[in-house]
Amino acid sequence: DIQMTQSPSSLSASVGDRVTITCQASQAIRNYLSWWQHKPGKTPKVVIYDASHLEPGVPSRFSGSGSGTDFTLTISSLQPEDVATYYCQRYDNLPPWTFGQGTKVEIK
């Protein structure tokens, strides 16, 4: 099975900072990767799909890039409402559609 390695596992940044989370697949997955935002007590929601497509309604400070094995989620200017755990997930070819381990984002 393809493994998804996400880093860092947690980060603390100031409001307005640029934040970058990376996700590496153990095999190439083309651009079949999504990024999920999971706030405590809420349902996960997608922020980026197909590696770089911004989900409608998601603020433009979120962006995704990458293809093949290496992917990045960037928050250009961190806001208090962005506090959450972020997960990457592959969905190329056949399942399992594995999630990364998650990155907990906090405000410093």
Which residues bind to other proteins, rule: CB under 8 A? 1, 32, 34, 36, 38, 43-46, 49, 55, 85, 87, 89, 91, 94-102
Closest approach, Cβ 14 to other proteins, in A, equals 25
Residue 10 identity: S
Work out the number of other CB atoms within 10 angstroms of the CB of residue 52. Answer: 16
Closest approach, Cβ 91 to other proteins, in A, equals 4
Cβ-based nearer residue to other proteins, 4 or 78: 4
**Integer Cα distance of 25 and 2 in angstroms:** 7
